[in-house]
Chains A and B, each alone.
Chain A
Amino acid sequence: MEPEPPRVLIVDDEPSLRALVAKVVERLKAGVTLAADGGEALRMLAHEGPFDVILLDLMMPRVNGFTVLNEFKKKAPEGVRCVIVMSAIGRPIRASDSEVVCAVVEKPFDIARLQAAVADCIAAHDDADNGHGNVSNAEE
């Protein structure tokens, strides 16, 4: 039986980048959901979750990526790190975010870097699901 395709939420206020990232992720045979800012992302998480991977931009109008991270930390199941931060401002992730952040990809990133980050993130969850590793310590 075919396994369920992984579900990926893409959050970025820049429409063209959002569309391009979606295309790259679709090539990994993943299902894609789009959000244009943090507010939409939180609504998607509440109504259409859970997602295997969340690709999250930080600097967004209205509700930004930091707020999404904080909200997500409150609700995420412990030990599940499924956020990949897409950042154009260096690496502003605090240590406390590492419990939910799996990787940071700095803009501009190429397809290979993005696909590797998404694939690693999905693989880490699969390992955790199969009891082969402790996800929360996987990268320390």
Chain B
Amino acid sequence: MNQSGVASPLPDAETLRKAIANFPIVIFHQDRDLRYEWIFNSAMGFRPEDVIGRTDSDLLEDAEDARNLETLKRKVLETGVARRQQVRIGRGKLTRYYDLVINPSVDAAGNIDGLSCAAIDVTDRHETETALYDAEERLRLAVDSARIGTWHYDVATDTLFWSDRCREIFGVASDAPVTYERFLEMLHPDDRERTRSEAEAAFAGENGGLYAGEYRIVRPDGAICWVIARGRAFFDEAGRPLRFIGTVFDITERKLNELALTEAVRLRDETLAIVSHDLRTPLASIVLAMNLLLMDEDREEKQEHIDIALGSARKMESLIRDLLDVARIGAGHFSIEPVVQPASVLLAEAATMARPLATDRHLALEYAAEGLGDVLADRDQIQRVFMNLVANAVKFTPPGGTISIGARQVDSAVEFTVSDTGEGIDAALLPRVFDAWAQGAAGRRFGAGLGLAIVKGIVEAHGGTVAIESARGRGTTVRFRLPGAVTSPPAAASTTDR
């Protein structure tokens, strides 16, 4: 204060009293029994004449306030060590906070004869601090409930601090040390350099030090996690970065939904292309047949072209029916009308239908059935199942091959099989063959790819199951089981709800 070494003149007591009276400070003296001896600038409506000769216990309504104060003060009397502490004083509805300094007062003989105290009203500061604490607490709650991870990078120590949630997102143990380089290593290789340059741009003060990015994390277990990160770098007066703070938010679920949506749109577009292709082909036959019909003079030729046009129209109709059925199966609205009938009859009908298709393609047809019981089946729909399976077998089996149709009794159920000696299906495609629109490799597709989806829909509507076995170059076998007639019909005779 008085660094010049020159003693400044002290004001007289009255000047000092006037000066201090303008400050929110209470000055008082207490004896060894903690009775107030004098008080200056008393506050909270206490008048000096009420206070003098009394103790805190006499004066304060709240016994706890008084006990706290007296405990503190006794400690100073006992130890002779001054203390400074924030205390609360309540009176009526009024509560004030004071920064209280308690000094031991010493008599001429060096004995502690009382306390010399000053109390500054810090209620405003206390309220500000409390509000700040509440705000931080609310923020922490929001961050926690929003599952936001927070991070803080300190330049001076080159240390990265991660919140528990942040560590959870990155899949890092709570005690594992993390550095900026380690963080970059955890990013997906395709996102690493971009993220590094984005973060370093913010660190170089670009865009006001603000950082906003999106990247993938490869967790230690190999799982990919999409994250959006926001951050801000803080700088000293010279523009040097001091620290970088921010948040990370796991958006994996949203990303996966977006990807699924993109895939669904792609599939829809592909489907439209396939459907349009498959409708154009019979349409081409109809157009040419009609053109020729106009030129035909021969009655037999006319009839042939009319038949081709009608046949092509029926193919278009059948494709449209398949499309609608796939939509119904997908929505769980596909219904059948099952009745009890011999499995052998269904099989014989299937063979009759398959024979000309096989013969046309120079394929042998093997057919075997014996000792079969009754099944509960919608005859037309089961013929459609056979039709689709035989059509696939014929399409993908080169001339000279064999198509086999058979069945066997498995407990009360009957298992039907359609197999071929054709080109088979790649192992990678096999799990998807019952999905609508699943197809062979691009350019190899044939038909809308609805056949097996409809087979599955029909069989499952019967309460049955379907399975496929195939390997490239080793032919394909499809097996489907229908429940025997002794079991109760499937509830509501419709596909399972989805």
Cβ of A60 < 8 Å from any Cβ of B?
A: yes
- Judging by beta carbons under 8 Å apart, are A16 and B280 in contact? no
- Judging by beta carbons under 8 Å apart, are B423 and A111 in contact? no
With a 10 A CB-CB cut-off, give which of A13, A16, A86 has the most chain B CB atoms.
A16
Q: Within B345-398, which residues are at the interface with A (CB < 8 Å)?
A: 395-396, 398
Query: Which of chain A's residues have a CB closer than 8 A to the CB of B444?
Result: 61, 64
Binary CB contact string for chain A from 54 to 79 against chain B (1 if under 8 A, 0 otherwise): 00001111101010000000000000
Alpha-carbon distance between A88 and B398 when the two chains are bound, in angstroms: 24
Choose, from A44-52, A102-110, A128-136, the stretch at the interface.
A102-110
- Judging by beta carbons under 8 Å apart, are B292 and A108 in contact? no
- Report A22 CB to chain B, min CB distance, Å: 10
Cβ of B44 < 8 Å from any Cβ of A?
A: no
Alpha-carbon distance between A64 and B445 when the two chains are bound, in angstroms: 9
Cβ of A123 < 8 Å from any Cβ of B?
A: no
Give chain B's interface residue range (CB within 8 Å of chain A). 20 to 34
Cβ of B281 < 8 Å from any Cβ of A?
A: yes
Alpha-carbon distance between A59 and B273 when the two chains are bound, in angstroms: 12
- Judging by beta carbons under 8 Å apart, are B284 and A17 in contact? yes
Query: Which of chain A's residues have a CB closer than 8 A to the CB of B292?
Result: 20, 23-24, 111
**Interface of B (DSSP majority class):** helix
The contact sample of 13 A-B pairs, CB cut-off 8 A, is A16-B311, A17-B284, A21-B288, A59-B443, A61-B444, A64-B443, A86-B284, A88-B278, A88-B280, A107-B280, A109-B284, A110-B288, A114-B288
| Among candidates A61, A108, A111, residue contacting B396 with C-beta atoms closer than 8 Å | A61
Q: Within A1-39, which residues are at the interface with B (CB < 8 Å)?
A: 13-14, 16-17, 19-21, 23-24, 39
Alpha-carbon distance between A89 and B279 when the two chains are bound, in angstroms: 11
- Judging by beta carbons under 8 Å apart, are A111 and B445 in contact? no
- Judging by beta carbons under 8 Å apart, are A17 and B285 in contact? yes
Alpha-carbon distance between A61 and B288 when the two chains are bound, in angstroms: 23
Cβ of B30 < 8 Å from any Cβ of A?
A: no
Query: Which of chain A's residues have a CB closer than 8 A to the CB of B398?
Result: 39, 62
Query: Which of chain B's residues have a CB closer than 8 A to the CB of A66?
Result: 443
Query: Which of chain B's residues have a CB closer than 8 A to the CB of A109?
Result: 284, 287-288
Residue in B closest to A39 when the chains form the complex, CB atoms = B398
Alpha-carbon distance between A21 and B443 when the two chains are bound, in angstroms: 22
Binary CB contact string for chain A from 69 to 98 against chain B (1 if under 8 A, 0 otherwise): 000000000000000001011000000000
- Report A69 CB to chain B, min CB distance, Å: 11
Residue in B closest to A17 when the chains form the complex, CB atoms = B285
- Judging by beta carbons under 8 Å apart, are A59 and B277 in contact? yes
Q: Within B420-476, which residues are at the interface with A (CB < 8 Å)?
A: 423, 443-446
Cβ of B247 < 8 Å from any Cβ of A?
A: no
- Judging by beta carbons under 8 Å apart, are B445 and A108 in contact? no
- Report B281 CB to chain A, min CB distance, Å: 5
- Judging by beta carbons under 8 Å apart, are B291 and A59 in contact? no
- Report A44 CB to chain B, min CB distance, Å: 14
User: How many interface residues does A have (CB within 8 Å)?
Assistant: 27
- Judging by beta carbons under 8 Å apart, are B281 and A107 in contact? yes
Alpha-carbon distance between A54 and B255 when the two chains are bound, in angstroms: 48
- Report B396 CB to chain A, min CB distance, Å: 6
- Judging by beta carbons under 8 Å apart, are A88 and B396 in contact? no
Residue in B closest to A12 when the chains form the complex, CB atoms = B281
- Judging by beta carbons under 8 Å apart, are A20 and B308 in contact? yes
| Among candidates A20, A89, A110, residue contacting B277 with C-beta atoms closer than 8 Å | A89
Give me the 5 closest cross-chain CB pairs, A-B, nearest first: A88-B280, A107-B284, A108-B284, A20-B288, A111-B291
Query: Which of chain A's residues have a CB closer than 8 A to the CB of B286?
Result: 108
- Report A1 CB to chain B, min CB distance, Å: 30
Alpha-carbon distance between A62 and B396 when the two chains are bound, in angstroms: 6
Q: Known: A16-B312, A61-B396, A62-B398. Is A111-B288 also a contact (CB below 8 A)?
A: yes
- Judging by beta carbons under 8 Å apart, are B288 and A89 in contact? no
- Judging by beta carbons under 8 Å apart, are B283 and A107 in contact? yes
Q: Known: A24-B288, A24-B292. Is A14-B446 also a contact (CB below 8 A)?
A: no
Alpha-carbon distance between A109 and B287 when the two chains are bound, in angstroms: 7
Q: Known: A17-B284, A20-B288. Is A61-B395 also a contact (CB below 8 A)?
A: yes
Alpha-carbon distance between A114 and B292 when the two chains are bound, in angstroms: 12
Cβ of B225 < 8 Å from any Cβ of A?
A: no
Query: Which of chain B's residues have a CB closer than 8 A to the CB of A89?
Result: 273, 277
- Judging by beta carbons under 8 Å apart, are A20 and B396 in contact? no
Residue in B closest to A27 when the chains form the complex, CB atoms = B295
Query: Which of chain A's residues have a CB closer than 8 A to the CB of B396?
Result: 61-62
Query: Which of chain B's residues have a CB closer than 8 A to the CB of A14?
Result: 281-282, 285
Cβ of B289 < 8 Å from any Cβ of A?
A: yes
Q: Within B266-280, which residues are at the interface with A (CB < 8 Å)?
A: 273, 276-278, 280
- Judging by beta carbons under 8 Å apart, are A20 and B285 in contact? yes
Query: Which of chain B's residues have a CB closer than 8 A to the CB of A58?
Result: 443
Q: Known: A64-B443, A66-B443. Is A88-B287 also a contact (CB below 8 A)?
A: no
Q: Within B121-154, which residues are at the interface with A (CB < 8 Å)?
A: none
Alpha-carbon distance between A66 and B442 when the two chains are bound, in angstroms: 10
Query: Which of chain B's residues have a CB closer than 8 A to the CB of A111?
Result: 288, 291-292, 295
Alpha-carbon distance between A16 and B312 when the two chains are bound, in angstroms: 8
- Report B451 CB to chain A, min CB distance, Å: 13
With a 10 A CB-CB cut-off, give which of B280, B285, B289 has the most chain A CB atoms.
B285
With a 10 A CB-CB cut-off, give which of A17, A19, A24 has the most chain B CB atoms.
A17
Taking A39-B398, A59-B445, A88-B284 as given, write out 12 further A-B residue pairs in contact, using a Cβ cutoff of 8 Å, ordered by the A residue number: A59-B277, A61-B395, A61-B446, A64-B443, A66-B443, A88-B277, A88-B280, A88-B281, A106-B280, A108-B280, A108-B283, A111-B292
